[in-house]
Structure 1
Amino acid sequence: MRYFQYRSLPDTFDQDIYIWDVDKTYLQTNFESLRGLVQLFFEYSIDKRSLPGAKELLLELRRGKELPPLFFISASPVGLKKILEGKFLLDGIQHDGIILKDYRRLRKLLGKFRIKNNFSYKLLCLLTHRLKMPSLSTEILFGDDYERDADVYTLYADILNQAVDEKALKARLKSEKLTRREQKKLIEAALKVQKSTPVSNVVRKIFIHLVRNKEARAFDTYGDRLMATYNYMQTAALLFEMGKISKMGFRRVASSFELKYPKDGWTLKKSLQDLKDRSLISSQTFEELALWK
């Protein structure tokens, strides 16, 4: 793992930090096949394609005088750093740091070489990142359902919330069939994070972008902290209700689906109605956003 941080936050910072996964959350990455994996190393920044609405939503999250902190966590190899950051530049996205996978260092650290199962890697990234952030800061996490972001993010949030002690964490990591070295490193990092975290409910929200055609209600078991969305129009609506983006910001995200991206059946009204049916937005928010045209 290689950590690149471009912005230092003051120790007194007590606002939200946005943490985004990259592949399948921000970028349309094809690593389902060996051919797709190999192709990643031959793509230029201009070849990368962001998911519909992802770029527009990221731009809205960064609006404002204080530039809310934005960090990326990726399982892409560190050799793709220039390509990924070139894509950020092309999309106009300013970010404050990124974590990338360094296979040599990771093998020394965790004693395991994993390509697709990134459970231990992502959890270690989140814990490592947390140790570098102000202790009073809070977080909003963005991932997808291609792998197991919901499980990793929820476990991470429970660790920060002191809801998982050392014994319970060890049992959980063992159930994930992690090596002893992986378990040891993660437990050490988790205990350090718990010791340095004086506030509760650090992870305010977890957004999971659905890419496997699963039903959103399948994620109800994770509780109110996690919200599964079918598109970034829905995510934008939820962030509007949280007060994280403006009404005009929501309009810009929603407009991009009409003007730039292929139609997939998820219209503005259908997207908002689904959120209302799942009791994720109020009737007032539904009316306010559905009738903006």
Structure 2
Amino acid sequence: MSPLRTRSAERPALAPVVCRWDLDKTYLRSDFDSFRQLLRTAFERAEDKVDVPGVAELIKAIKKAAARHGRPALVYFISASPPQIGKAIRDKLALDGIAYDGIVFKDQLAHLKRGKLRNLREHVGFKLVELLRGRLDAPAEARELLFGDDWESDSLIYSLYADVLARRLDVDRLLPILRRIGVDARLVDQVVALAGKAAGPDAVDRIFINLERRTPTATFRLFGPRVVPTFNYFQTAVALGVDGHLDVEDVAAVGRTLVERSGYTARRLENSLGDLVRRGVVSVAAAAGMGAALRAAGVLSAGAPARSRWRRMRDAFRRLRRRKKTRPAPVPLAGGALDYEAILDRLRSPGREASAEGRPA
């Protein structure tokens, strides 16, 4: 079996793939550092909005690869931004040539009317409800790929969703987590009701986190290997290629777009591939196979690292990580769910980039 398809045999043949995307900081470059920036974003026209480099090409590549193999691919967006900006968002997606199957916005006005000001910034409950609703509407056998960013709590939200679907997180353990986060009581009730209906087989293959804030990758170690933080969408494409969701030509298309439109160089792409090897996201064998194919496609420079160099890079990184290690790696709790208490402790500790409450998505 090709090293680029090591996981494909684990999934049902031709099972539909559902891609769920966050919008701001994941698809769109958006600034929310001040209230003025938030207002400016709300009134931007479609042509003023800027997509994250490579993201549009990646979505198209996923669709093309799925069609090539006779596999349905569905794309959905979930945004905690208000529906009042919906037209500009839809127009932007149309300008980018993105075909999608659904988009959901958060009704912020309803929270204002009820005086629930805190709910304007608390997105965990909202997104969990929409994710679970979406799962109930999806084909039962569908596999899922989830895409978010490090600006808010996407790694937490998506992991909770994945563990609920796989029955690794039952209601008795889910409720204290939602209450600790501060999810609105109405949304807690909805999450619990939907979880009972949506729970079934393990459906989430990967969770990709765009490191828009350049959060240290070690921050995500508690989430396990299912969560893959990436510095650019070439890295995301490589991981999807190794998992069998993209062919080499699709990965090459994303890399080529970054070079031609976003100022990337072949060396930078090579370094991105090496970073995946160092972090153990991609094996040495898979990186060597992918790298050779990408060099043949003209995306990476000729004479790039041989397999022995990939291995030395990986081993050096592992030694460095062992020296810096101050505590043992987290062990999943009984039933295979993540240790969410430890995750929340880490997210809420002083100086951490992530927040369990989140920001506009």
CA drift at 1:235: 0.3
1:67–1:179 Cα change, 3 Å: closer
- 2:53 is aligned to 52
Quick one: distance in 1 between partners of 2:115 and 2:265? 41
CA distance in 1, matches of 2:157, 2:194: 15
Distance 2:17 2:267 in 1: 29
Partner of 1:120: 125
| Inter-CA distance 215–145: structure 2 relative to 1 (3 Å threshold) | same
Query: Distance between the aligned counterparts of 2:266 and 2:35, measured in 1?
Result: 31
- Give the C-alpha shift of residue 180 in structure 1: 2.5
Deviations 1:165-200 (A, max 9, x none): 111111111111223323222212222222xx3xx2
CA displacement at 1:117 relative to structure 2: 2.7
Contact kept? 2:147, 2:208, Cα under 8 Å: yes
What is the distance in 2 between the residues matched to 1:222 and 1:46? 37
Long gaps (5+) in structure 1 = 1-12
| Equivalent residues of 2:122, 2:183 under 8 A apart | no
For residues 138-188 of structure 1, give each alpha carbon's deviation from its aligned partner in whole angstroms, at most 9, with x where no partner exists. 211000110010000001111001111111111111111223323222212
**Unaligned runs of at least 5 residues, structure 2:** 1-13, 299-361
SS at match of 2:26: coil
SS of 1:69's partner is strand
Amino acid at match of 1:80: I
Larger C-alpha radius of gyration, 1 or 2? 2
Superposition pairs for residues 199-210 of structure 1, below 5 Å? Answer: 200-210=201-211
Distance 1:222 1:51, change over 3 A: same
Q: Which has the higher contact order (CA 8 A, sep 6+)?
A: 2
The answer to whether the 8 A contact 1:107-1:113 is kept is: no
Query: RMSD across aligned C-alpha pairs, in angstroms?
Result: 2.3
Tell me: CA distance 1:137–1:109, structure 2 relative to 1, closer, same or farther (3 Å): farther
| Structure 1 residues 84 and 220: alpha-carbon distance in aligned structure 2, compared to 1, 3 A threshold | same
> 2-side partners of 1:172 and 1:183: how far apart?
10
Report deviation, 1:51. Answer: 0.5
**Cα drift, residue 39 of structure 1:** 0.7
| Change in 2 beyond 3 A, CA 1:175/1:73 | same
Aligned residues of 2:111 and 2:120 also touching (Cα < 8 A): no
Contact 2:15 2:72 in 1 (8 A): no
Q: Normalized against structure 2, the TM-score is what?
A: 0.72
Aligned equivalents of 1:16 and 1:125: distance in 2? 18
So what's the TM-score if we normalise by structure 1? 0.87
Which of the numbers 118, 126, 135 marks the counterpart of 1:130? 135
Secondary structure of residue in 1 paired with 2:168: coil
Aligned length: 277
User: In the alignment, is the contact (CA less than 8 A) between 2:79 and 2:105 conserved in 1?
Assistant: yes
* Deviation (angstroms), 1:229: 0.7
- How far apart, in 2, do the equivalents of 1:94 and 1:182 lie? 30
Structure 1 stretches of at least 4 aligned residues deviating more than 4 Å after TM superposition: 104-113, 263-266
1:212 Cα deviation from its structure 2 partner: 1.6
- Aligned partner letter, 1:85: R
Q: Partner amino acid for 2:175?
A: K
Of 177, 181, 184, 1:172 maps to 177
Q: Name the residue aligned to 1:230.
A: 231
Residue pairs, 1:146-225, within 5 angstroms: 146-194=151-199, 197=200, 200-225=201-226
How far 1:114 moved relative to its partner? 2.4
Q: Structure 1 residues 216-225 or 104-113, which shifts more?
A: 104-113
User: Structure 2: which amino acid aligns with 1:118?
Assistant: H
1:145 matches 2:150:
yes
Task: Find the aligned partners of 2:63 and 2:26 in 1 and give their Cα distance.
Answer: 17
Larger helix percent: 2
- The CA distance in 1 between the partners of 2:166 and 2:36, in whole Å, is 41
